[in-house]
A and B are shown apart, each in its own frame.
Chain A
Amino acid sequence: MDELRVLVVDDELGIRMAIAKALRGAVVEVPEFNSSFALTVESAESAEDALDMIHQAAPDILLLDQKLPGMSGIELVEKMASESISVLTIMITAYASLETAVAATRSGAFDFLAKPFTPYELRACLFKAAKHIVLQRQAMKLVAERKRVRFEFLSVVAHELKSPTAAVEGYLMMMKDRVMGDQLDDYNDVVDRAIFRLSGMHKLIADLLDLTRIESGHKRREVTEVDLMRVAEMSAEAGRERGAPRGITVNVASDGPTTMVADAGEIELILNNFVSNAVKYNRDAGNVDVTIGRRDDGMMHITVKDTGIGMKPDDVKRLFGEFVRIKNEKTRRIEGSGLGLSIVKKLVDMYAGHVDVSSEWEVGSTFHVVLKDADPADPGEGDSQPSNTAKPAN
């Protein structure tokens, strides 16, 4: 259990002892964050002594009498402010009046406690302060965590863009320096390779934009009845085009009703990612089988099965992370942004669904997606704009 240190500053011994007694063994629970704090109490009889103690180790909460011999409570708060020392302060005032309350908060105090107070009032006041501290710390932690995640993401993006840029630059420099002579035809492979790396970069940028739109919630959802067979046929057609040079076939079939309430664009992204992966990570002359249908559980099931290179169990576990690319001798020459499946995962979450993968190395992989119908009135989470989608009249 963590500890919150309370420093009591009052010139009356009786008050100091009463406060120490009332807080002995007190524990503040903050169920929102599943944490609890023990209060420990120290005391000082003057503002000067308190300042010395604060200089040595600042407490978490200061319980400060307004009227003190020598430096007053308010002067101490001002002194701390001038030294940029920030301690949550509760002012102990002589009378419960609006004036003293205003004076106390104006001087920078978080709250005030009017004498005489009961042990119950004291504890309630301190618990409120402790909770405030915990929430503040938690908020700071969240900000720091978000900063860290954003930084990490940006450095990976930078790296992923750096390597194709370096390759294209290298190829262009080869041409500039006529490394292979003056005949343009001799550079055909160099040009093809540079175009290949540039198209990979293009795909990465497109994927990044998709991901940002989904995550920010700015993508407006158009939720209607969608026939998944029609969407799947489009994805399959794109897959066939890519797979044709390698003799890969793509088949779409249904094993139940195929319409669901969804955003057609989102379904297309999901299917495109799975079908294009199934083609990319396939063997030559392999097959891709897409099966779609609503089952007895009321959910829409999509299965994409390939006869491709498959994955090892350890790789399957990491598969849905951002920028995860399975590196082995079979995937080395396959281009990918490493974002496709993390995009799919986020979309599937929007349909309260899930994805299962079964895979066998050198045999193939099967991705099984389960989706629930979207709420027809849902304009997309995080969308602060008023919705144009009218709720159906009851």
Chain B
Amino acid sequence: METTCEKVRKMSEQKVSATGKTILLVDDDVDFLDITESRLKKDGFAVVRCEGQVAAEEYLNGDAHFDLAVVDLMMEFMDSGFVVSRKIKKAFPGTPVIMATGVERETGLGFSATTKEERSWIQADAMLEKPLRYDQLKKQIDMLLPAE
């Protein structure tokens, strides 16, 4: 049986990367990956998806090409997202990272990436509250990846 994402992949092959940009999605929520992948592809992005920290690290250690990453904070571990975004920033210093988190409601801890100091230790260019709405995510991507 074809999975949703396979179908989407096939469907959007003809128009893959109309923007010429690739988005890396890192999340352990399959629904989020399916939905976001199909929507991004429809909007002309190429998508690479990794189901969790381990998969993302494998991808980053190999031949990785992407223009922006969307990383969930809590995956296999509480701080998986921090680890992944730190690795991205080390290997691809100029590549923007959007961190998605429900951590503020879950733990009462507040994170944001609004000041330069916060961005230096959080290693993300923007934080978005989960559940992520696609239109919000798209707006953030457009801000961080202005059309050339």
Interface residues in chain A, defined as those with a beta carbon under 8 Å from any beta carbon in chain B? 155, 158-159, 162-163, 165-167, 169-171, 173-174, 177, 179-181, 186, 189-190, 193, 197, 327, 332-333
Residues A162 and B131 in contact in the complex (CB < 8 Å), given A155-B105, A332-B30: yes
A179 touches B38 (CB 8 A): yes
B2 touches A189 (CB 8 A): yes
A167 touches B7 (CB 8 A): no
B11 — which chain A residues lie within 8 A by C-beta? 180-181, 186
B134 touches A193 (CB 8 A): no
B76 touches A193 (CB 8 A): no
B38 touches A180 (CB 8 A): yes
B31 touches A155 (CB 8 A): no
Interface size on B, residues (CB 8 A): 26
A193 touches B4 (CB 8 A): yes
B15 → A minimal CB distance (Å): 12
Residues A193 and B102 in contact in the complex (CB < 8 Å), given A166-B131, A180-B7: no
A197 touches B38 (CB 8 A): no
| Chain B binding surface, main DSSP class | helix
B28 touches A179 (CB 8 A): no
B31 touches A171 (CB 8 A): yes
B69 → A minimal CB distance (Å): 20
B34 — which chain A residues lie within 8 A by C-beta? 193
B2 → A minimal CB distance (Å): 7
Please name 14 pairs of A and B residues whose Cβ atoms are closer than 8 Å in the assembled complex, sorted by A: A158-B105, A163-B131, A166-B32, A170-B31, A174-B39, A179-B8, A179-B42, A180-B7, A180-B8, A186-B7, A190-B4, A193-B34, A327-B28, A332-B51
Using a CB-CB cutoff of 8 Å, which residues 1-24 of chain B contact chain A? 2-4, 7-8, 11
B117 in contact (CB, < 8 A): no
Residues A159 and B106 in contact in the complex (CB < 8 Å), given A186-B7, A332-B30, A333-B30: yes
B105 touches A197 (CB 8 A): no
A185 → B minimal CB distance (Å): 11
In the bound complex, what is the Cα–Cα distance between A383 and B114 (angstroms)?
A: 54
> Looking across the interface, which residue of chain A has its beta carbon closest to that of B39?
A179
In the bound complex, what is the Cα–Cα distance between A348 and B32 (angstroms)?
A: 38
A155 touches B29 (CB 8 A): no
A197 touches B3 (CB 8 A): no
B35 in contact (CB, < 8 A): yes
In the bound complex, what is the Cα–Cα distance between A167 and B31 (angstroms)?
A: 6
Residues A173 and B8 in contact in the complex (CB < 8 Å), given A155-B105, A167-B35: no
> Looking across the interface, which residue of chain A has its beta carbon closest to that of B5?
A189
In the bound complex, what is the Cα–Cα distance between A327 and B28 (angstroms)?
A: 10
In the bound complex, what is the Cα–Cα distance between A165 and B102 (angstroms)?
A: 14
B51 — which chain A residues lie within 8 A by C-beta? 332
B102 — which chain A residues lie within 8 A by C-beta? 159, 162
A332 touches B28 (CB 8 A): yes
B35 touches A170 (CB 8 A): yes
In the bound complex, what is the Cα–Cα distance between A163 and B134 (angstroms)?
A: 15
